[in-house]
A and B are shown apart, each in its own frame.
Chain A
């Protein structure tokens, strides 16, 4: 049981309206490992994450958690799953009518019958973990973007989840704080055996923390595997992503011209 994957996806297709965002995604999230999901902006990373945390409904047969099909989950199954997870959203998603400390305390207040003073101590511990001790009594609107991210992470950790999902923890952070967060994520896996899924653009941090990597492109999985396998992959798209090269100009020129012409096809030859 312990080495079977926590989450397994089989041919997951996802749509917004009639637009298909994810195509036949197949991957597994192993237990007690750090899985990093990478890919260029808009390729569907956050959408994939929304499926993993059960916010976007998944068809039966497409995703299973500990062998149980999510498509057949009822309300209490979903609730039980969510009690075991922590989520950091891309924008932090802090409750803006509550202070940072109250934000972190919210899950504890709702789900436990601990005394307020105990809850306050537990919230303070989590805030210390992410280096926000000084900001406990501030309102979310008084925080910088990076501080909001860290407060959101503290809140995600409040219930000591078994599985943690983080959407771009280090975007908008300075390199030193970002490295601190990487250390924290590694520490969570080492000391608590947490299963962690991280979405990130930062190659360096990705290679530092990942046990398993998933590289996505336009709603499909390009490659998945251990960091070394990704590094030695020869697929031109993967190489391009890893070397941070911009897209070829020429194709862009054509679609740019087409967009100027309102979608009509460009007939003329573009001069090089």
Chain B
């Protein structure tokens, strides 16, 4: 009974260690592929288009509502302190420093990251990745590098769009609906937001880009490998795991980055 418990704990521990080790090796291969970046221009552009077209709409949509909620909540909180004039600053800072990078990355995970995981997972179960290896093509450089480069380009841009649309949503509620002074909204924002804040948002979105691609393509790449069983249901399992793990990783690393950069 006790022995069984210890044994299963041990097995769990070992599997986690091997998971981390393999993720590390995968990361190394992914980064090594960057050496061939110049030859990846067009594949990268295709992936930028893929990420952008998949996520732009849903990002604008969530951004406008996030901004509106921030405007609403901010208005009632700030008015208790008689600081309604700070609404613009409050909305912009929360978006630029925190919500923009995190929510944009989570949306990209759900839309594009999951699709990438499934696509690569199918390539695994149909032996296409094996076929690449047998052609002496490095599957990491061929499959992962363009996606990594593309997300490093696309996710910061989508984050910027998230920020701008979100601020617009906050303006909509704060100024048009609740009647804050538009001048105060804008100048408050202008005076408070500093380069540091924008810098933090950019750093975060770059880190999240790497995390999203690393986790989603890793999960796809090793679909079914542990079980040695390469059925289609393994792809859906991998995709679910990728989205959950990537979202958690984004939120956890968000806290870590914030605490380091503050």
Contacts and interface: CB of A to CB of B under 8 A. Distances in A.
Interface residues of B, number: 15
B122 interface: yes
Contacts of B135: 82, 106-107, 110-111, 159
B181 interface: no
Contacts of B137: 106-107, 110
Contacts of B233: none
B260 interface: no
Contacts of B131: 87, 89, 93, 95, 155
Contacts of A159: 135
Interface in A155-172: 155, 159
Given A16-B228, A17-B228, A95-B123, A82 B133 contact: yes
B127 interface: yes
B15 interface: no
A246 interface: no
A125 interface: no
Interface in B115-136: 119, 122-123, 126-128, 130-131, 133-136
Contacts of B130: 55, 89, 93
Nearest to B137: A110
Nearest to A55: B130
A146 B128 CA distance: 17
Contacts of A16: 228
Interface string A84-115: 01110111011111000000001100110000
Contacts of A82: 133-136
Of B127, B130, B133, B137, the most chain A CB neighbours within 10 A belong to B127
Contacts, number: 47
A79 interface: yes
Interface residues of A, number: 25
B134 A53 contact: yes
Nearest to A152: B131
Nearest to B226: A17
B104 to A, nearest CB: 26
A85 B127 contact: no
A79 B136 contact: yes
A164 B89 CA distance: 67
Contacts of A111: 135-136
A162 B135 CA distance: 13
A79 B132 CA distance: 11
A216 B104 CA distance: 55
Interface in A1-54: 16-17, 53-54
A111 to B, nearest CB: 7
Of B122, B130, B135, B228, the most chain A CB neighbours within 10 A belong to B135
A179 interface: no
A53 B228 CA distance: 18
Contacts of B136: 79, 82-83, 111
A79 B126 CA distance: 22
Contacts of B122: 96
Given A16-B228, A17-B228, A96-B122, A91 B134 contact: no
A43 B142 CA distance: 33
Contacts of A91: 126-127
A94 B128 contact: yes
Interface in A130-178: 155, 159
Given A107-B135, A110-B137, A93 B127 contact: yes
A159 B135 CA distance: 9
Interface in B90-143: 119, 122-123, 126-128, 130-131, 133-137, 142
Interface of B: 119, 122-123, 126-128, 130-131, 133-137, 142, 228
15 contacts: A17-B228, A82-B133, A85-B134, A86-B134, A89-B131, A90-B127, A91-B126, A93-B126, A93-B127, A93-B130, A95-B128, A95-B131, A106-B137, A110-B135, A110-B142
Given A82-B133, A91-B127, 10 more contacts: A55-B134, A85-B134, A87-B134, A89-B127, A91-B126, A93-B126, A93-B131, A96-B122, A96-B126, A106-B135
Interface of A: 16-17, 53-55, 79, 82-83, 85-87, 89-91, 93-97, 106-107, 110-111, 155, 159
